[in-house]
Homo-oligomer: A and B are copies of this chain.
Amino acid sequence: MNKLYLNQQTINAARLTAKKIADSVQTFIDQHTTISVERALCRMLGIDGVNALDIPYPNIIVDHIKDNADLSKGVAHYLSYALAEHKHAPQKIAEMIDQNCLDLSQYDKLEQSPHIALLTQYLTPQLNRIKRQKATRETMQLKPSKTPLKYVIVATGNIYEDVKQAVAAAKQGADIIAVIRTTGQSLLDYVPYGNTVEGFGGTYATQANFATMRVALDQVSDDQNRPIYLVNYASGLCMSEIAVMGALERLDMMLNDALYGIIFRDINMQRTFIDQYFSRVISAYSGITINTGEDNYLTTSDAFLEAHTVLASQFINEQFALNAHMKKSLMGLGHAYEIDPAMPNSFLYEIAQAQMAREIFPEAPLKYMPPTKHMTGDIFQGVIQNALFNITAVSTDQTIHLLGMLTEAIHTPFMSDRAQALKNAQYIASAFQDFSKEIKFDENGMIVARAQSVLSEANQLLSSIKNMGLFTALENGVFASTKRQMTSGKGLEGVFKKHAVYRNPVLELMKKAMAGDV
């Protein structure tokens, strides 16, 4: 698939530059842990549930250590000593701490724990469950749906209404259901517990909600005889915890991008890069596809002028994912159809950009976002914007095809909005079935020229990011014209430099398992 005559050397150069950028952040990541990483580890040990005050037990343990001891040694250090001493399951340990029956600070001054191996028996059930879930997913995917996969969101705020919407959408032809999160959740430094019915613009990501939706989708998947994929957000302050929950409940995809959190949620960059790494290792191990958030840049910045920032960021995200041992086939790099419809030849430029992404990341299940910024209250016009987007998605062979809603500028989707979106996409997919095979672009034309110039701008941008380092680049507002400081933003207080005795047995086990795999 080479329609754009892109220079492979430029692509290679850009990739190499991105690798240097990511590697330099990786050095920092490897030296640090966060409260969320430690809580994720707790969850892998089977610690779950909330106390009488609705505080999740993983938080209870981690906060306990943070407040009373030295978290830089990692929960594994403390818990392994406690297990050695008390022979209780980690969950029990957590409950004891909650009831002030146990104080882990007693192990603080002890030497590097000789009992880390004791944790393995408690990790095994979760690891096995994840392996089983992965196998189930792979079996189901033997009958894959035709790409682009039609992806719709549900966002009622109430998991039970979400289920109704999701089931209806699946029956109408959706391949992927994303349960959007309530507006506030990404800034919560804990994961709420249980089934929930109160969210704004989305529904809380909880393990129970994941499970409820998974059951419903498995059911409709059986009825429809095709996989129905489930998506949520391993994003925000609890990236890696949610990655664990998603792995356990067989989610298929996770929105997962530190850059999104930094730019759009004002999450501290140190914190979220560390969280992201562990979350990606977990997703890589679990066979979960990630979705990155570059598309969002174009909702803030101009989609024509800043197209190269999306590409540069995709290159970086690819390297971050590779560093987390992720296969390219799990990298749902994000981009979007956001050029102002008032711009002449907007369709040509969109085709150029979409095809470019496809050619540069041939193995990636690209996530292609519909027009949102230039959608207006004129829902009839919106239908056309979505149709042009759908044409582009189909004609450039995108993988994950987020369907645009005619009411994008108005409200989170009604059931009928989603149905209309699915009909739009289905009609276009059929009408343009073999279109991309039939057409060639003029080698000296504007489509080819546009793609080439975006690539070369991205390449230049990467060089300059490499020179200053990613942290500084973000301080300069390189993406989405948004400046963020290295030491401000939410969640910095949860970052810890690893102590010499620090161990993360989950990371170690998963990396080892994947070593043969990648």
Contacts and interface: CB of A to CB of B under 8 A. Distances in A.
Interface of A: 341-348, 378-381, 383-384, 387-388, 406, 420, 423-424, 427-428, 430-435, 437-442, 445-447
Contacts of A438: 348, 441-442, 445-447
Chain A: interface secondary structure? helix
14 contacts: A343-B430, A344-B431, A345-B431, A345-B433, A345-B434, A346-B430, A348-B431, A348-B432, A348-B435, A380-B383, A383-B387, A437-B442, A438-B446, A439-B442
Nearest to A350: B431
Contacts of A435: 345, 347-348
A72 B430 CA distance: 59
Contacts of A431: 341, 344-348, 388
Nearest to A429: B344
Given A384-B424, A439-B439, A442-B440, A430 B342 contact: yes
Given A438-B445, A440-B442, A430 B344 contact: yes
A144 to B, nearest CB: 19
Contacts of A420: 380-381
Contacts of A442: 437-440
Contacts of A447: 438
B427 A384 contact: yes
Contact of A384 (B342, B428, B439): B428
A441 B378 CA distance: 35
Contact of A445 (B378, B387, B437): B437
A439 B438 CA distance: 10
Contacts of A430: 341-346
A342 B433 CA distance: 12
A424 B381 CA distance: 7
Given A383-B383, A423-B381, A434 B348 contact: yes
Given A341-B431, A343-B430, 12 more contacts: A341-B427, A345-B434, A345-B435, A348-B432, A348-B438, A381-B423, A381-B427, A384-B384, A434-B446, A437-B442, A439-B440, A440-B440
